[in-house]
Amino acid sequence: MVQASDPGTILPFEVPVAVAPRVGHGRRRKGALLLARPHWNKTKGSLVLAPPYPTGGVNGDHLMYLWRADGVAYAVSLHAWLPLQEATATLRAVVESIRRWPRLSKASGVPSAWESGAHWW
């Protein structure tokens, strides 16, 4: 899933500011876990494991790469699986396959590349 939004509205949950020391397998999580702050596709972002549904919303149990650019919050996510290193490698490949980030149109809030019919993947 790819999302772009105002920074305050992209996620229905809070992202911790400190990296989680370890993800316990089989433990019930109530909130998001900040796993790392990687630099993928020339962009510094946050690698987050979203909380389960319903707290995580449509991103429940997703592994997410979050970043901001030009006042817009972006997220690329996929459903997480174990081993988490595989899911992380897959998410990184998706993020790094993006040639350029879309820019939101001020008028419609829709990425301007979509309005023009250009592809940004």
For the stretch 41-83, pLDDT in tens is: 988 999 999 999 988 899 999 999 999 988 888 899 999 999 9
Q: Please tell me the predicted confidence (pLDDT) of residue 20.
A: 66
Burial per residue of 72-83, b for 16 or more beta-carbon CB atoms within 10 angstroms, e otherwise: bbbbbbbebeee
pLDDT at 119: 34
Task: Give pLDDT tens digits for 85-119.
Answer: 999 999 999 999 987 655 555 555 545 444 433 33
Confidence of residue 22 (pLDDT cuts 50, 70, 90): low
Phi, psi of 51 (to 5 degrees): -70, 160
- On the question of a cis peptide bond just before residue 83, with omega within 30 degrees of 0, the verdict is yes
CA-CA distance, 8 to 69, in Å (whole number)? 14
pTM: 0.74
Q: What pLDDT is recorded for position 117?
A: 37
**Closest CA relative to residue 85, chosen from 53, 52, 60, 63:** 63
CB half-sphere exposure, 89, CA atoms < 13 A: 5
